[in-house]
Amino acid sequence: MAQYQAMGDWLRSCYGAAVGSGSVPVGSNQVVLDFGSPVTFDRVTLRENQSSGQLVRLYQVQGMVSSGGTWAPLSMGQSIGAQKIDVFAAPFTGRYLQVTTDAVPTGLTVAAFNCTNPA
């Protein structure tokens, strides 16, 4: 029973508060989050509104350290569905997070999190 409590505690500590979040603007296939200053995050959650069906078939997540820098690839995928969590190969520290999709979704929300993986 203690291991279930520990896992629940970890999930709440990991996903309880995002370091930043936002939504793709209506009519667009891209969102850029500006955290204001560099933050560290190691995963994103992507949630696609399914009321018009699953529209996104390809997406890419990128980060930028500071204004005027270059975008660094963090993750990519072939679909999102109702919700997906992408865990990066390594934590990223930057001011900007960008998600670009191949279609214009009816609603797509993005949130970045910084978690320590359980042992």
In a domain, 5, yes or no: no
CATH assignment at residue 31: 2.60.120.260
Give the domain extent around 103: 18-113
The pTM assigned to this predicted structure is 0.89
pLDDT for the residue 117: 59
Count other C-beta atoms under 10 Å from residue 43's C-beta.
21
Of residues 61 and 117, the one with the higher pLDDT is: 61
Percent of the chain with pLDDT over 90: 71
**Cβ burial 5-22 (10 Å sphere, 16+ → b, else e):** eeeeeeeeebeeebebbb
CA 100 from chain center: how many Å?
11
Q: How far apart are CA 119 and CA 106, in angstroms?
A: 38
For 8-62, the pLDDT digits (tens) are 888 888 888 899 999 999 899 999 999 999 999 999 999 999 998 899 999 999 9
What's the total number of domains in the chain? 1
